[in-house]
Amino acid sequence: MIQSSEVDRVLAQHIARLRVSLQNASGDIEGPEEGSDAWLLLEALIDDDDPTLFARFEQSGHWLAKQGGKLDVRLQALQRYVDALAFELNDLFKQVPVASEDERPRLQVEATSRLFQVQSRAMLSLTRGYQGAIDQVTLERNALAMQIEQRFLALQRINGVSNSTMDLDQTLEVITKVVAEELKADLCTIFFYDELQRLLTLRATNGPRPLGGMHFTLRLGEGYSGWVADKGRPLLVRDALSDQQFAFEVRTYNTDYHGLMAIPIIFFGTTERLIGVISVQSTEMHDFGNAERDFVEVVAGIVAINIENGRLYEQTDEQLRRKVHELATMHRVSSIIASTLNLDEVLQIIATQAVHLSGAERSCIFELDQEKQLLHIVAHYGLNSALVEGLHIGVGQCCAGRSVLTGRPSMAVDCFENDEHCFLSMDPGFSSEIHSVLCVPLQVKRKVLGCICIYSSHRHSLSHEQMQLVITFANEAAIAIENARLYEETRRGLELKSILLRELHHRVKNNLATVAGILSLQRRRTKSPEVRYTLAESVNRVQGLAATHDLLAHEDVSEAKVEDIARKIVGVANANLRPPAKHITFEVEPCPIVIPSRAVTILALVLNEMVSNAIKHGMVGLKEGTVTIRGREEDGVVIVQVIDTGTKLKQLEPG
Mean pLDDT of 428-453: 80
| 297 pLDDT above the threshold of 90 | yes
Task: Give the Cα separation of 189 and 179 in Å (integer).
Answer: 10
Assign 649 a pLDDT band (cuts: 50, 70, 90).
low
User: What is the 8-class DSSP label of residue 421?
Assistant: T
Q: Does residue 53 lie in a domain region?
A: yes
Examine residue 296 and state whether it is found in any structural domain, yes or no. yes
Same domain, 188 and 39: no
Same domain for 226 and 175, yes or no, is: yes
The pLDDT of residue 363 is 87
Confidence of residue 606 (pLDDT cuts 50, 70, 90): confident
Which helix H or strand E contains 559, and what residues bound it?
strand 559-561
First to last CA, the chain: 117
Q: Which long-range contacts (CB under 8 A, 24 or more apart) does 467-472 make?
A: 467/409, 467/411, 467/438, 468/270, 468/271, 469/326, 469/330, 469/357, 469/358, 470/354, 470/357, 470/358, 470/409, 470/438, 470/440, 471/409, 471/440, 472/330
Q: Pick the last residue of a domain from 249, 282, 313.
A: 313
Q: What is the crossing angle of helices 562-576 and 529-554, to 10°?
A: 150
Query: Same domain for 243 and 338?
Result: no
pTM of this structure: 0.38
Q: Quick one: 187 and 115 in the same domain?
A: no
Does any domain span residue 153?
A: no
Domain identity same for 199 and 297: yes
69 part of a folded domain: yes
Would you state the pLDDT for residue 185? Answer: 92
Same domain assignment for residues 132 and 176: no
Reduce the secondary structure of 276-341 to three states and give it as a string: EEEEEEECCCCCCCHHHHHHHHHHHHHHHHHHHHHHHHCCCHHHHHHHHHHHHHHHHHHHHHCCCC
Q: Last residue of some domain: 491, 523, 538?
A: 491
What is the 3-state secondary structure of 178-243?
HHHHHHCCCEEEEEEEECCCCEEEEEEECCCCCCCHHHCEEECCCHHHHHHHHHCCCEEECCHHHC
Whether residues 344 and 399 share a domain: the answer is: yes
Banded model confidence at residue 385, pLDDT cuts 50, 70, 90: confident
Q: Using one digit for the tens of pLDDT, what is the confidence trace for 91-114?
A: 888 877 776 777 778 877 888 888
Range with the largest mean pLDDT of 194-208, 224-238, 311-325: 224-238
Q: CA-based Rg of the chain, rounded to a whole angstrom?
A: 42
- Please indicate, yes or no, whether residues 375 and 303 belong to a single structural domain of this protein: no
Helix, strand or coil for residue 638?
strand
Position 507 scores a pLDDT of: 52
Asked if residues 357 and 329 have their Cβ atoms less than 8 Å apart, the reply is yes
Higher pLDDT, 556 or 364: 364
- Residue 10 is assigned to a structural domain of this protein: yes
| Four-residue CA torsion sign, 26, 32, 34, 37 | positive
Residues 410 and 536 in one domain: no
pLDDT-based confidence at residue 279 (cuts at 50, 70, 90): very high
Give me the mean pLDDT over the 389-414 stretch.
84
pLDDT of amino acid 503: 47
* Per-residue model confidence (pLDDT) at position 500: 43
Tens-place pLDDT, residues 465-521: 777 777 877 787 778 777 777 777 776 654 444 444 454 445 555 666 676 667 666
370: in domain:
yes
Sequence-distant (6+) residues with CB within 8 A of 564 are 551, 555
The CATH number covering residue 223 comes to 3.30.450.40
* Domain-located, residue 653: no
3-class SS of residue 407: coil
pLDDT of residue 378 exceeding 60, the answer is yes
For 164-187, write each residue's pLDDT tens digit.
878 888 889 999 999 999 999 999
d(C-alpha 401, C-alpha 180), whole Å: 46
- 650 burial level (CB within 10 Å; 0-12, 13-18, 19+): exposed
For residue 603, tell me if it sits in a domain: yes
* pLDDT value at residue 614: 81
pLDDT for 2 equals 38
Full domain range(s) for residue 126: 4-136
Residue 202 has pLDDT above 80, yes or no: yes
pLDDT at 133 over 70: yes
**How does DSSP classify residue 110?**
H
Question: Per the structure, how many domains does the chain have?
Answer: 4
* pLDDT reported for residue 501: 47
pLDDT of residue 445: 78
Q: What is d(CA 549, CA 543) in angstroms, rounded to the nearest whole number? A: 10
624-634 vs 583-588, strand pairing mode: parallel
Residues 158 and 188: their CA atoms lie apart, in Å, by 14
Residue 48: pLDDT band (50, 70, 90) is: low
- Whole-angstrom CA distances from 3 to 90, 92, 116, 140, 331 are 18, 17, 18, 50, 105
Name the average pLDDT for the chain: 79
Overall average pLDDT of the 383-389 stretch: 78
Q: What is the DSSP annotation of 325-384? A: HHHHHHHHHHHHHTS---HHHHHHHHHHHHHHHHT-SEEEEEEEETTTTEEEEEEEESS-
Q: Which pLDDT tens digit goes with each residue over 531-586?
A: 766 766 676 666 656 555 555 555 555 677 888 878 877 777 777 777 777 788 88
Q: How far apart are CA 305 and CA 302, in angstroms?
A: 5
Residues 461, 576: one domain? no
Does 123 or 388 have the greater pLDDT score? 123
By mean pLDDT, which of 188-202, 470-484, 622-636 is the weakest? 470-484
Q: pLDDT at position 510, please? A: 62
Average pLDDT over residues 514-529: 69
Burial class (CB in 10 A: 0-12, 13-18, 19+), 424: buried
Residues 484 and 504 in one domain: no
Q: Which of 275-279, 459-463, 580-584 has the lowest mean pLDDT?
A: 459-463
More confident residue, 143 or 537: 143
Residue spans of alpha helices (H) in 243-286: 244-250
pLDDT reported for residue 340: 72
Domain end point (choices 88, 120, 136): 136
pLDDT, residue 240, reads 92
Q: Which residues, in sequence order, are CB contacts of 293 under 8 Å at separation 6+?
A: 234, 236, 261, 263
The pLDDT value given to residue 4: 60
Residues 244 and 202 grouped into a single domain: yes
Which residues, in sequence order, are bridge partners of residue 624? 583
